A = this chain, B = another copy of it.
Amino acid sequence: MNDLIREMFFPAFDNPILGQGLDAASLHVPPGRLAFTTDSYVVKPLFFPGGDIGSMAVYGTVNDLAMVGARPLFLSSGFILEEGLPMETLWTVVQSMRLAAEKAGVTIVTGDTKVVDHGKGDGIFINTAGIGVLEHSLEIGPSQVRKGDKILVNGDIARHGVAVLSVREGLEFETHIDSDSAPLADLVATLIRAGIEVHCLRDLTRGGLASALVEIAEQAGLSIGIQEKLLPCRADVKAICELLGFDPLHVANEGRLVVFVPAYQAERALELMKAHEQAQGAALIGEVTAADCRGQVIMRSLIGGNRIVDMLSGEQLPRIC
């Protein structure tokens, strides 16, 4: 274990804080409010088109920090390895984490590795926790959402779930579908720096767009209306979802978020997003239609009907993240 740490983790995540080799990392953080979050990653398989468990474990936690408007600074990483895991597999995952951390501008400063017996794990599970700093005075969250707010999404939905499923189930499609896995903190920072009064943010992971919107509607006690014709979703992804009986609204994404902004800033926010690498396919998909209610999400369908959007009970796709 000592050799593993010295020869694999220390060089890969090379930085002076981790290199101290202490029980806890000692950090200098800017004064002010901090954000703190954690996620475990159990995606199956470990590698999928457009990503792997390593990059996902970095981006996922970075994105959770970004959803409260924080600038991500530091990550921890905890590995649970199954006995018999090929070291090349671990190496590949660790290198992917290193690259993802560079891309997202975070430093992995502390870590831990445990090994469980064969048949008591599944290759690699990773937990990352993250610390970010809040460098603005906005409160971002469901409580800030107001009637009339416009809702933007940063690109086409449902790709991550379909990409993972395709390799897991050995499905072959005539088309190539990459996960949308990506870091979103810079996109959020771009909006805030430009003076957009971001009211609420949420990344569209497990449970998809539907879960994110229903959660916000319920937490804030307001009604949301979206339009199916405005929802960006690739035709091939939509076709595969139809074939498999999935609703793209419920399929997980890893690099997608919704942004709630005041109506008067919606156009400007959309422009800023489209100019950003992580939101070129951004779209306005709906608005907040009523406040002070029980909270629900209604989608106007392509044929003009109204449909209540629900959270799924149970998991549509287990181990997608």
Contact status B78-A39, CB under 8 Å:
yes
Output the least CB separation between A27 and chain B (Å): 5
- A76 contacts across to B, CB distance below 8 A: 36-38, 129
Distance, CA A77 to CA B39, complexed state (A): 9
| Known interface pairs A24-B67, A31-B31; A37-B120 also in contact (CB < 8 Å) | no
Select which of B24, B115, B120 is within 8 A of A68 by beta carbon.
B24
Contact with B along A26-59 (1 / 0, CB 8 A): 1111010111111111100000000000000000
Name A110-159 residues within 8 Å CB distance of B: 110-117, 119-122, 125, 127, 129-132, 134, 141-142
User: Is A88 at the interface (CB under 8 A from chain B)?
Assistant: no
Select from chain B the residue with minimum beta-carbon distance to A82.
B120
The SS class assigned to the A binding surface is strand
Of the candidates B33, B42, B64, B70, the one whose C-beta lies within 8 Å of that of A80 is: B42
Question: What 1/0 flags go to A93-117 for Cβ under 8 Å of B?
Answer: 0000000000000000111111111
A65 to B1, CA, bound (A): 21
Among candidates B21, B64, B125, residue contacting A219 with C-beta atoms closer than 8 Å = B21
Residues of B within 8 A of A1 (CB): 206, 315
Determine how close the nearest CB of chain B comes to the CB of A314; give it in whole angstroms.
8
Interface centre among A23, A131, A315 (most CB of B within 10 A): A23
Distance in angstroms between the alpha carbons of A78 and B77 in the assembled complex = 12
- The yes or no answer to A203 lying at the interface (CB within 8 A) is yes
Residue A246 lies at the interface, judged by CB distance under 8 Å to chain B: no
Interface size grouping (class) on chain A: 35 or more
Q: With CB as the reference atom, state the residue of chain B lying closest to A36.
A: B25
Contacts of A127 in B (CB 8 A): 38, 40, 78, 112, 127, 129
Give residues of chain A (291-320) contacting chain B, Cβ–Cβ below 8 Å: 311, 315, 318-319
What residues of chain B lie closer than 8 Å to A78, measured between beta carbons?
Answer: 38-40, 78, 127, 129
Within 8 Å of chain B (Cβ to Cβ): is A89?
no
Shortest Cβ-Cβ A-B pairs, 6 listed: A129-B129, A38-B76, A24-B37, A127-B127, A23-B67, A120-B122
Known: A23-B63, A24-B70, A42-B114. 6 other contacts (CB 8 A): A28-B34, A38-B129, A40-B79, A40-B114, A78-B78, A127-B129
